[in-house]
Copies of this chain bind each other. A is one copy, B any other.
């Protein structure tokens, strides 16, 4: 276990959270909630192809703050999954945006089938990663050069954090908070959210067959 990247307070880290039609709500809002429970250590912007309304897989609409062309810079990219990834893996505009944003990002985090988008963009080639356990084989097909891990709540490899399905994004997010700011900050975020953190990345009750 290495120490936290930061242990003093600085300007908030800029989080760019990608959304697209058919994104999964808990993939996005679980992480957003926990990042928010850290006393302003993160500022979150919702990014989509264009600013404005985007409908989730659950048919609830949210509002993107900016579009791909708005040239924001982000310290952290957050990529949710959802049924919409089945379409977006064939969307060159979205994949190009990921490729363009990745080099400047200190961390890139995906939840559930969000890792299929990172894989299809080529960003995970040679890296260890995981994904949703029900859709696992489909995800593997999006990135044959990725070292896919079938039993993991989440996987950290270099700048990349990839989580298992939906709810696992919350456990991964707290691990990312720990990496950035240390264990007391991640534990306090969990406490404020009354979240029972599965803090062991290898503890995966839903491992893929």
- Interface of A toward B, CB cutoff 8 Å: 24-26, 28-30, 32-33, 36, 44, 46, 53, 57-63, 65, 112, 132-134, 164-168, 170, 191-196, 198, 205-206
Contact = CB atoms under 8 A, between A and B. Distances in A.
A26 B193 contact: yes
A196 B195 contact: no
A60 B205 CA distance: 31
A58 B30 contact: no
A30 B166 CA distance: 10
A82 B167 CA distance: 21
A125 B53 CA distance: 39
Which of A25, A29, A206 has the largest number of chain B CB atoms within 10 A?
Answer: A29
A62 B53 CA distance: 8
20 contacts: A25-B29, A25-B33, A26-B29, A26-B32, A28-B29, A29-B29, A29-B30, A29-B60, A53-B63, A61-B62, A62-B62, A112-B194, A164-B194, A165-B194, A166-B195, A167-B196, A168-B194, A194-B206, A196-B196, A196-B205
Contacts of A192: 134, 165-166
Contacts of A198: 196
Given A25-B33, A166-B192, A167-B194, 7 more contacts: A24-B33, A26-B30, A26-B32, A32-B58, A33-B166, A46-B60, A167-B196
B32 A30 contact: no
Contacts of A193: 26, 165-167
Of the candidates A133, A165, A195, the one having the most CB atoms from chain B within 10 angstroms of its own CB is A195
A60 B57 contact: no
Question: Which one of A26, A53, A164 has the greatest number of beta carbons of chain B within 10 Å?
Answer: A26
A189 to B, nearest CB: 11
Nearest to A46: B60
A188 B46 CA distance: 30
Contact of A36 (B44, B58, B167): B58
